[in-house]
Amino acid sequence: MAPRGLSAEEKRVKLVEIFHETKDFFQLKELEKMGPKMKGIVSQSVKEVLQSLVDDGLVQMDKIGSSNFFWSFPSQRGAIMQARLATIREQQTTLQNQVADLRSVLEAEKASRPESDERARALEELSALKTEFAQLESELTAYGACDPVKLEEKRRALVLAKEAAVRWTDNYIMLLSHFTRQNGVSASDIRTYLGIDEEYEDIDP
């Protein structure tokens, strides 16, 4: 059975161990040679693992001339952990203060709204009214065609349409009268020519 390969985290731990055990500076090429021999880390994965350690601040890097050098000391890791612990403690203190403030606000709200039979009845009535309101809205939606607002809109539209029809009928009558006077043609001949019957004028105002 083939031996199990190292996980990503195991590679990180073992690469850091190289620095802490040797207490020395290395270039990438050196680490790619040392990784497989000392810790069983595949050479091709050393660069990626090293970069992740640099990104997390567990390994330091500095450019000297045209070469990059990497190092990490045990004391340095301890300092990083202490800094992280201090940050977490500071966040914890901030959150605890926020919780205390929220509890104070909650207690103040409770004090301004003391429990009583009257308040309980009022809350119960409010809940019942909200339920009734929701039911009525649902019914109103179901009978959308009978919605008073929509009916009023249709009524107003009908009135405007009728007024427009009456206005154009009046215009037609005046134009017909003017044309018959000017040209000596009877109104019935013009209606026959245009295909308009006499009922066209019978629109009640």
Tens of pLDDT, residues 13-72: 999 999 999 989 999 999 999 999 999 999 999 999 999 999 988 899 999 899 999 999
- Give residue 42's Cα distance to chain centre: 44
The verdict on domain 8-73 having CATH code 3.30.750.210 is no
pLDDT at residue 27 in the model: 94
Scan for tokens 């190292």, then name that residue: 6
pLDDT at residue 49 in the model: 93
Tens of pLDDT, residues 68-117: 999 998 876 565 565 566 667 777 888 888 888 888 887 777 777 777 77
Mean pLDDT of 6-13: 89
- Give residue 53's Cα distance to chain centre: 35
Which of 74, 23, 68, 75 has the alpha carbon at shortest distance from 50?
68
pLDDT at residue 125 in the model: 87
Per domain, the residue ranges of the chain are: 8-73, 150-194
The angle, 0 to 180 degrees and rounded to 10, between the axes of the packed helices 187-194 and 148-183 is: 120
> What is the pTM (predicted TM-score) of this model?
0.38
Q: Which two tokens stand for residue 35?
A: 């990784």
Contact 7, 44 (CB under 8 A): no
